[in-house]
Amino acid sequence: MDDLAVKVAGGCASSICKPCTKFIKPTAMQKGEIMKISEILAAASIGGGNHIIGNIALIVCAGMTLVQIAPIKVNPWSWIAKKIGRAINADLLKSVGEINKELVSIKADMARAEAVNARSRILRFGDECLHSSKHTKEHFDNILRDITSYDHYCAAHPEFENNVTKMTAQRIEEIYHRCLTDNDFL
């Protein structure tokens, strides 16, 4: 029992609490002094220990010291309020969870629709190039952005069919490089 030491927090908040001062070593009354359990018990017996208020104060100070040793944050009021709030708002929380699931589904559908639209623009642009239609550099830049975003979507979604635009995208890039070299944009 002598080997167990207690870290003294520096007493309680009250400046007139005498039992707390019994736990602090008289040689150095600094916060953080270490006392053994046997020293605490000896200090508690100095005052006689027969007074009820003194004993209660001693127990409170010892409890505060133990909380200082093992700081466990226990807040029963927050716990009770949280439980009551969840009970009152259970239906609302369930609805919010369902809305979040629907939102994720809608975002996925929108991303898929944008990929399908990009694929259509890529194929239309490729057809125009096959029919010798000239395009501006800005039009090429926009379709190259579509190709990049479409490729990213396809890489992230391997189940999405992607066999129709690969050759068209390569052809568009070849025509773009040729137009860039020859300065042959519309």
Tell me if 38 is assigned to some domain.
yes
130 and 65: one domain?
Answer: no
Domain span at 156: 93-182
Same domain, residue pair 48 and 115: no
Confidence of residue 10 (pLDDT cuts 50, 70, 90): very low
> What's the confidence (pLDDT) of residue 182?
85
**Domain contains 82:** no
Let me know if residue 11 belongs to a domain.
yes
Is the residue at 164 inside a domain?
A: yes
- Considering the domain architecture, whether residues 35 and 106 belong to the same structural domain is answered as no
84 is a domain residue:
no
What is the rounded distance in angstroms from the CA atom of residue 180 to the CA atom of residue 98? 51
Q: Is pLDDT at 119 greater than 50 in this prediction?
A: yes
* pLDDT in the model for residue 129: 87
Asked if 6 and 65 count as a contact pair (C-beta separation under 8 A), the reply is yes
Q: Which is more confident, 38 or 28?
A: 38
User: pLDDT confidence of 72, banded at 50, 70, 90?
Assistant: low
* pLDDT for the residue 32: 52
Q: Is there a domain that residue 24 lies in?
A: yes
Q: How many domains does the chain have?
A: 2
Q: Tell me: do 64 and 123 sit in the same domain.
A: no
In a domain? residue 152: yes
Mean pLDDT of the chain: 74
Does residue 56 sit in the same domain as residue 136? no
CA distance readout (Å), 117 to 120, 137, 176, 184 = 5, 21, 21, 27
Residues 107 and 45 in one domain: no
User: How high is the pLDDT of residue 24?
Assistant: 47
Residue 19 has pLDDT above 70, yes or no: no
Last-in-domain residue among 13, 36, 69: 69
Q: What is the pLDDT at residue 146?
A: 92
User: Do 148 and 107 share a domain, yes or no?
Assistant: yes
For tokens 């093992």, name the residue: 70
**In terms of domains, do 55 and 111 share one?**
no
In-domain check, residue 120: yes
Residue 5 falls in which region: left (phi positive, over 0), alpha (psi -120 to 50) or beta = beta
